[in-house]
Structure 1
Amino acid sequence: MVLGAVGAALAAPMGSTFAQAFPSKPITLIVPWPAGGSTDRHHRVLAEIASKYLGQNIIVENKPGGGGTIGPGAMALTAKPDGYTISQYPMGMLRVPHMQKVQWNPLTDFTFIIGISGYTFGFTVREDSPFKTFNDYIEAARKAPGKIDYGSTGIGTSPHLLMEELSANAKVQLNHIPFKGNADLMQALMGGHVMAQSDASGWDKFVDDGKMRLLLTFGEKRTKRWPQVPTAKDLGYGVVSTSPYGLVGPKGMDPAVVKVLHDAFKKALDDPKHAEVMAQLNQEVWYRSGDDYARWARETYVKDKRLIERLGLAAK
């Protein structure tokens, strides 16, 4: 008992001293998508702003693949819980484990730091596509089941699952082609390798430049930036999705270090420069404290299990 008390007394000052000194070197922020996409654009700006408040650089490291799960998953398995390696945590983290075996637990192997934002999802085609409206695309799928394709950012991601849900509601069979992220997906669409793409708003500049046509968005209401474009809800397909995301670290992080990171990124969320990139991506801030974010993740994990089972995508 005496030894335990002495150990606890020694550990407390050491832990608090470490937190007071944090950060004393650059922090790595894993973005589990290719460089140049909407998530990468957002996190590079966010990292730049937060680094001012932390007094250390935040280095963005792109680790795409697995529908956004490879980067955070690798962090959970290999990174020290010292606050120097953190990651974006996309919705796929709460879905892929229902669809295939993974080496990490999406809830217990992570420390939830802060909820940040949610995507504006849309469905786009090239400007020379024969599909002038989304209903044109669906009608083509009715006439040629399994022959009409679209790309997404990976199996189990929101752009994939919302189209699975929509096609089930519309009673059509589409051909899904997964990619590592929206940067390579957009290249494939522009190169004519896929007919259409379901993705977050990294397509914004292509739409505004007239190189792509935005046929549909998936929010609760129409976007401010493209108010003429109907939602899936408007057209009666019954699918609404924003796919919130935030930042996490490995499990077992010092709560004082988590607070330092949370407070810096919270200030970054409120920064006018961050508001500019949010407007460009047509996204809203989705702030959640670490505790609230973890609670949301637990609830969503259970809810999305039912969705994946209903779509017939659960692991056998």
Structure 2
Amino acid sequence: MRSRHVFGHLRGMSALLLAAIAVGPAAAQNWPDHPIRLIIPLAAGGATDKAARLLAQRLGTALGQQVVAENLTGASGEIALKRVASAPADGYTLGATANSLHTVAPHMSRLPYDAVNDFTWLGTYASFEYVLVTRADAPDKDLGALLARARKAPDAVSYGSSGVGTGNHLAGALLGDLAKVRFNGIPYRGGSPAMIDVIAGRTDFMFDVVGGAKALIDGAKVKALATSGKARSSLLPDVPTVAETVPGYEATGWFGLVAPAGLPADIAKRLEAEVARIAQDPDYRRQLETLGYHAQAIPSAALKRAVAIESEKWRAVVQQLPCSSRGASCEGTKP
């Protein structure tokens, strides 16, 4: 009797398992049948937020369901990404993310999620370069002059950033590392106050996203010395790259779309295909250019590999930072 009961119980479990397997594809085929939430780890109103909302609008049109953008700020993106990672993997919660949140943040502090494996990677939708700017009447005529001044007086030349562990913070740290100079890094609570102090001459320079700094450069509020990509920026074609002075330098960024790990394969493929298609749309590309970004669609598999490579690059840079410049104590920072 006991064995019949056990076998009957197992048959019941098998039936439930088969039913679940049968329902999974059917549910995916009906997706989406209600609005999708896109969590953005930044405050509303900035160019980065606008780029994510532009993607949300076009995704909604392509999928036939509204994609509702929700800004969730705090802890340098950690709160938003934790929400995404812990959401059901059903295609109704997506996240807009940036490279530094996965390639730098894990080396600055312990995160409540695995920055790579707790997400389904769906591709990138935009990329950008930084530009190194000084005050308009700064004495340095080019990057070489700035570096020469820093070599003569270690720690006397300062650079501002949007905060500890941000992309432009690490862009400055990488420059110091490769050029063998010591800068005085000063983190601010956002890019705007950092830029205000550069304009006023209270800090010597900062890296800012090209699109955000271009109006200030055109208006002679700041002077552009170098851009951070491998090639010159199409928005600032007359400005040399950092690599023209410091070989091997590159510090760029991208924005990508992620979902919780375990997203059904057919939903993931559909989203990846739509993101790639949107990135090729000429009107979308023009709209991104007005925000200072480039449309770029790196597919999911290549993106996950790129994250791993970038992570190792920035790990080495973070390890060179003094404890006071990291997002947590040295004891709390991953080796």
SS in 1 for 2:164: coil
What residue in structure 2 maps to residue 8 of structure 1? 17
The match for 2:96 is: 88
Alignment RMSD, CA only? 2.9
**Superposition pairs of residues 197-212 of structure 1, within 5 angstroms:** 197-201=206-210, 202-212=212-222
1:27 corresponds to which of 8, 25, 36: 36
* 8 Å Cα contact 1:65/1:181 also seen in 2: no
Q: 1:63 to 1:271 in 2, by over 3 A?
A: same
Say if 1:149 and 1:62 are closer, same or farther in 2 by CA, change over 3 A.
farther
Amino acid at match of 2:19: L
CA contact (8 A) 2:159 2:172 kept: no
* 1:37 and 1:183 in contact (8 A); partners too: no
The residue matched to 1:75 in structure 2 has which SS?
helix
The structure whose Rg is larger is 2
Letter paired with 1:216: A
Q: Is the 8 A contact 2:143 2:242 kept in 1?
A: no
SS of the residue 2:185 aligns to:
strand
Q: Pairwise mapping of residues 1-316 of structure 1 onto structure 2 (< 5 A)?
A: 2-77=11-86, 79-92=87-100, 93-142=102-151, 144-179=153-188, 181-182=190-191, 185-186=194-195, 189=198, 194-201=203-210, 202-236=212-246, 238-281=248-291, 283-309=293-319, 315=333
SS at match of 1:112: strand
- SS of the residue corresponding to residue 51 of structure 1 reads helix
Distance in 2, matches of 1:188 and 1:64, equals 24
TM-score by length of 2: 0.80
Counterpart for residue 3 of structure 2: none
Which amino acid counterpart does residue 278 of structure 2 have in structure 1?
Answer: A
Which has the higher mean CA deviation after the structures are superposed, 129-138 or 259-268?
129-138
Q: State the Cα distance separating 1:2 from its structure 2 match.
A: 3.4
Q: Is the 8 A contact 1:127 1:211 kept in 2?
A: yes
Q: 1:85 Cα shift?
A: 2.1
Aligned partner letter, 2:175: L
Q: Distance in 2 between matches of 1:4 and 1:85?
A: 30
Relative to structure 2, which stretch is displaced further, 106-115 or 192-201? 192-201
After TM superposition, the structure 1 stretch with the greater mean CA deviation from structure 2, 299-308 or 86-95, is 299-308
Q: How many corresponding residue pairs?
A: 315
Could you list the per-position Cα deviations for residues 137-191 of structure 1 after superposition, in whole angstroms to 9, with x for gaps in the alignment?
Answer: 4344345543432222332333222211211233332222234554564456557
Q: State the TM-score, normalized to the length of structure 1.
A: 0.84
Amino acid aligned to 2:123: I
